[in-house]
């Protein structure tokens, strides 16, 4: 599928829910930190996603610079908040996709791609014309508009999306996004409607569908319960419409301590979250081991593969 999409930088950017209106064509950067030239920080096989994404050969993961959220605990903060990355052309991005396919990747995994959507779609068109055939994963913090989800139609096969918060005060404090849940809820519903129920290949690798992640945060398990209530309501209305993934890997990176979450989650806290999820019937998915909170799972942003 090819869309006639301009890759001229927006003169009044509305690519994310903030609709900050930055004139990226004139060199202004948006709230996300993205300007007028595509920028990425790493492209490599990645083995630490959910098993149905990483498989045995790895997920062909491209980390894009900038982010529409400002999470104080972001493990990728050098690229999301500090501007690390390398400017590349659309043609080079297409080459990166094809090279990851040659390396044996199960899929192409786009990490925080929303602020670069028109550029990435153009690169996917080029790569597909030259033989790219892998499923495309959109790895997103969940802070999207319904219009953005629709704009990815025909390009994204798998949505790997966070549902971080329900509380607007918590999302304002930790991610500078008081409207996080108000935006994420309809966007995630649009993702599920677009992708349909999960489909796997003969190796158990996801080909289409939605994985909904929730990262349990220390001291805030009541909001985790609210998130899981929402996830359970979706699952009750349409059983199996997504794969739940409850995560324990929170590590107090970046400015976390300044916002009262400068410690890892306790085993007791995480067990309460997991038990709550299981009581709600969210069992057909993933629950991380407590040992997953390890810094080595965070990649080094050394511009590998870019």
Query: Per residue in 266-298, pLDDT tens?
Result: 999 999 999 999 999 999 999 987 655 555 556
Looking at residue 1, what is its pLDDT? 44
**What one-character-per-residue DSSP string does 39-77 give?**
EEEEEEEE--S-HHHHTTT-EEEEEES--S---TT-TTH
Q: Please check the confidence at residue 304 and state whether its pLDDT lies above 90.
A: no
Question: Token pair of 26, please?
Answer: 């004139």
Cα 11 versus chain centre, distance: 25
Distance CA 85, CA 67 (A): 12
Question: Token pair of 194, please?
Answer: 């677009």
Q: What does the longest C-alpha to C-alpha distance in the chain come to? A: 53
Rounded to 5 degrees, what are φ and ψ at 304? Answer: -55, 130
Distance CA 151, CA 71 (A): 25
Looking at residue 178, what is its pLDDT? 98
The pLDDT tens digits of the residues spanning 88-108 come to 999 999 999 999 999 999 999
- State the CB neighbour count (10 A cutoff) for residue 114: 26
Looking at residue 295, what is its pLDDT? 54
Return the DSSP state at 243: E
Tally of CA atoms within 13 A in the half-sphere of 194 that contains its CB: 22
> Residues 6 or more apart from 13 whose CB is under 8 A from it?
19, 20, 21, 22, 23, 24, 30
Mean pLDDT, the chain, as a whole number?
94
The pLDDT tens digits of the residues spanning 218-238 come to 999 999 999 999 999 999 999
Helix, strand or coil, per DSSP, at residue 282: coil
Q: Please check the confidence at residue 63 and state whether its pLDDT lies above 80.
A: yes
> Residues 6 or more apart from 239 whose CB is under 8 A from it?
none
Looking at residue 169, what is its pLDDT? 98
């Amino acid at each position: 599928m090819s869309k006639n999409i301009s890759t001229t930088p927006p003169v009044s950017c509305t690519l994310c829910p903030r609709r900050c209106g930055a004139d990226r064509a004139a060199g202004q950067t948006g709230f996300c930190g993205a300007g007028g030239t595509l920028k990425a920080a790493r492209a490599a096989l990645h083995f630490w996603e959910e098993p149905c994404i990483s498989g045995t050969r790895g997920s062909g993961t491209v980390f894009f610079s900038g982010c529409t959220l400002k999470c104080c605990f972001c493990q990728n903060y050098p690229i999301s908040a500090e501007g690390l990355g390398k400017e590349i052309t659309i043609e080079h991005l297409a080459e990166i996709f094809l090279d990851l396919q040659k390396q044996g990747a199960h899929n192409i995994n786009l990490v925080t791609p929303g602020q670069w959507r028109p550029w990435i779609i153009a690169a996917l068109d080029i790569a597909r014309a030259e033989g790219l055939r892998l499923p495309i994963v959109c790895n997103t913090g969940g802070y999207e508009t319904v219009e953005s989800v629709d704009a990815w139609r025909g390009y994204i096969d798998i949505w790997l999306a966070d549902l971080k918060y329900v509380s607007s005060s918590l999302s304002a404090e930790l991610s500078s996004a008081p409207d996080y849940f108000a935006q994420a809820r309809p966007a995630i519903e649009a993702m599920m409607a677009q992708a349909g129920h999960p489909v796997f290949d003969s190796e158990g690798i996801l080909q289409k569908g939605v994985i909904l992640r929730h990262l349990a945060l220390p001291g805030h398990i009541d909001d985790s319960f609210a998130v899981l209530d929402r996830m359970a309501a979706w699952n009750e209305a349409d059983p199996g419409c997504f794969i739940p993934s409850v995560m324990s890997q929170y590590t107090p990176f970046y400015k976390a301590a300044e916002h009262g979450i400068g410690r890892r989650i306790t085993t007791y806290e995480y067990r309460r979250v997991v038990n709550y999820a299981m009581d709600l019937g969210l069992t057909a998915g993933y629950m991380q081991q407590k040992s997953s909170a390890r810094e080595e799972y965070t990649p080094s942003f050394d511009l590998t593969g870019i």
